[in-house]
Amino acid sequence: MRIFINDREAGFVSKNGRFVKMIRAGHYFFPNFLGYSVSVEEMNDEVDYLDTPYEILAKDQKFAASTVHVRIPDGMLGLLYVNGNLNGCCTTRREYVFWNVFERVEVRLLSMEQVEITEEVTKKMLSAVPTRYYTKIAVGPGEVALVRYDQKLTKILNSGVYYFWNYNTEVTYQIVDLKWKELAITGQEILTRDKIGIRLNVVCEYRIVDAKAVQSYQSLEKQLYSYLQLVIRELVGNYCLDEILEKKGMLSELIQEQISKEASTYAVVFARAGIKDIILPGEIRDIMNTVLVAEKQAQANVITRREEVASTRSLLNTAKLMEENATLYQLKKLEYIERICGQVGEISVSGKGDLVEQLGQLIS
C-alpha cells in the first residue's frame, strides 16, 4: 500500500489496530498483508484521530511536538487563542488536542469559582463563552436590580451592566423601576349617597422609594390599584351626585391626602392623584342636559326682557327730548324720511311748496 502525505497533512500508522507512529509529508509504502493501515488528516484545528488515548499518541515525539494538549479542570473554562486572536471556548471537564504546526495555538484557563465576574474578564472574552455559563444583568437609568445568590438577596445594583458565573451559585435577579409612573383606574363604578350609580376615571403618579420592600409584594402595581379602588369607594360614596360634580377638585385633594398616609406601607410616594372624568348613567345625563337647557333658556329670557326694558326707556327719553326741542324733532323727522326714501325706487313731487314738506305729506 503506497501512501502520499502532502505538506499540510499527517498520517497515523497502525499495525494490527495498534498505533505505531505519526508520519509527515512524503511517499511511504506499508504492506497490507502485514496488518498495516494509515489514517490521514489535515493538520488544522482539533486532532480528529483520538480513537487511541492521548498518552499513547504522545509517545511519538513528532505527534507531541506538533500538538497542544489541554484538560479543562472542573470549575474552569478555556479560552482558545489562535495566532493571538480569540477563536473559541473550551468547556469544563473535557480534553482537547489541537494541531500546533501552521498556527500558534494557546488555551488560557478562566476560573468560574468566584460568582461575580470581575473587570479582568472583558466583554470580548465573554462573547466566546456560551451564555449558559453566566448571567448578564443590564440595569437601565432610574432602575436598580435585586440580585439573589441561591434565592438569598445579596446585592442591589445601580444602572450598568454586570456579569455573574452560574457555576457554584444560582444567580437570579429582579429589576425594580424607580422612575415616576402613572397608575390609572378607569370605569370605577361607585354608588353615591343618593343611590345614583356613576363611573369614575382616576389617575395618580407614584414612585418606588424602597426597592427591597418590593420583594414583599407579588405585584406592587396590582396592590396599589386595589388600595386606590378602596379609597375612592370610601370617600366618593359619602357624597351626593350634585356634591361630587361641584366638589371634584376637593375630592381629588382628599384622595391624594388619604393615599399619601399609607404610601410608606407600599414603599412608594405619590406625587398627585385626582378624578379625571365623571361618567353619568344615560338617563341621569339626559335629565341633567334638560335642566341645563332650561337654566340657559331662563337666563336668555331674563337678558331679553332686560334689553326690551332698556330699549323702551331709551325711546321714552328720546320722545321727551323731541317734545322739548322742535329742532331735534325736525332732525329726527328728516332722518326717518331719509331712511324711507332710501327704500323707494322712484318719487314724483310738484314744483310748489317746500320739498321736505311734500315728502313728509307723501309718506304720511
Per-residue model confidence as pLDDT tens digits over 93-143? 678 999 999 999 999 999 999 999 988 999 999 999 999 999 999 999 999
Cβ neighbors of 63 (< 8 A, separation 6 or more) are 10, 22, 57
pLDDT for the residue numbered 251: 86
Q: Residue 363 — very low, low, confident or very high, per pLDDT cuts 50/70/90? A: low
Burial 313-350 (b: 16+ CB within 10 A, else e): eeeeeeeeebeeeeeeeeeeeeeeeeeeeeeeeeeeee
pLDDT for the residue numbered 142: 92
C-alpha 128/C-alpha 158 separation (Å) is: 26
142 three-class SS: coil
- 351 pLDDT more than 60: no
- 324 pLDDT more than 80: no
181-191, strands of its sheet edge to edge: 181-191, 197-208, 268-279
pLDDT for the residue numbered 218: 83
- 77 pLDDT more than 90: yes
Asked whether the beta carbons of 145 and 175 are under 8 A apart, the reply is yes
Specify whether the backbone of 84 is left (phi greater than 0), alpha (psi in -120 to 50) or beta.
left
Q: Can you tell me the mean pLDDT for 335-363?
A: 62
| 3-state SS track over 147-195 | EEECCEEEEEECCEEEEEECCCCCEEEEEEECCCEEEEEEEEEEECCCC
pLDDT for the residue numbered 284: 62
Q: Give burial (CB, 10 Å; 0-12/13-18/19+) of 251.
A: buried
Asked whether the beta carbons of 217 and 286 are under 8 A apart, the reply is no
C-alpha 235/C-alpha 201 separation (Å) is: 14
C-alpha 107/C-alpha 71 separation (Å) is: 10
pLDDT for the residue numbered 127: 92
Q: Can you tell me the mean pLDDT for 330-347?
A: 67
**Cβ count within 10 A of residue 289:** 11
Pick from 84-93, 336-345, 346-355 the range whose average pLDDT is largest.
84-93
What's the chain's average pLDDT? 84
Q: Residue 320 — very low, low, confident or very high, per pLDDT cuts 50/70/90? A: confident
- 92 pLDDT more than 70: yes
Cβ neighbors of 133 (< 8 A, separation 6 or more) are 77, 91, 112, 165, 166, 167
DSSP 313: H
- 38 pLDDT more than 70: yes
- 79 pLDDT more than 90: yes
Q: Which residue has the higher pLDDT, 226 or 360?
A: 226
Q: Which residue has the higher pLDDT, 164 or 263?
A: 164
pLDDT for the residue numbered 292: 65
Q: What is the pLDDT of residues 241-293, one digit of tens each?
A: 888 888 888 888 888 888 888 888 888 998 888 888 887 776 666 666 676 66
DSSP 30: -
Q: Can you tell me the mean pLDDT for 14-33?
A: 89
Q: Can you tell me the mean pLDDT for 343-352?
A: 61
- 45 pLDDT more than 80: yes
Q: What is the pLDDT of residues 220-239, one digit of tens each?
A: 888 888 889 888 888 888 88
pLDDT for the residue numbered 232: 87
Q: Can you tell me the mean pLDDT for 328-347?
A: 67
* Integer CA distances (angstroms), 34 to 16, 18, 31, 49, 140, in order: 8, 13, 6, 22, 71
Using CA of residue 40, residue 43, residue 47, residue 50, what is the dihedral sign? positive
Compute the CA torsion angle 296, 301, 304, 305 (nearest 10 deg).
-150
Query: For residue 309, what is its C-alpha cell?
Result: 326694558
C-alpha 46/C-alpha 80 separation (Å) is: 11
* pTM over cut 0.75: no
pLDDT for the residue numbered 86: 93
- 48 pLDDT more than 80: yes
pLDDT for the residue numbered 42: 92
C-alpha 348/C-alpha 364 separation (Å) is: 15
In 55-113, DSSP assigns E strands to 67-71, 76-82, 85-90, 95-99, 105-111
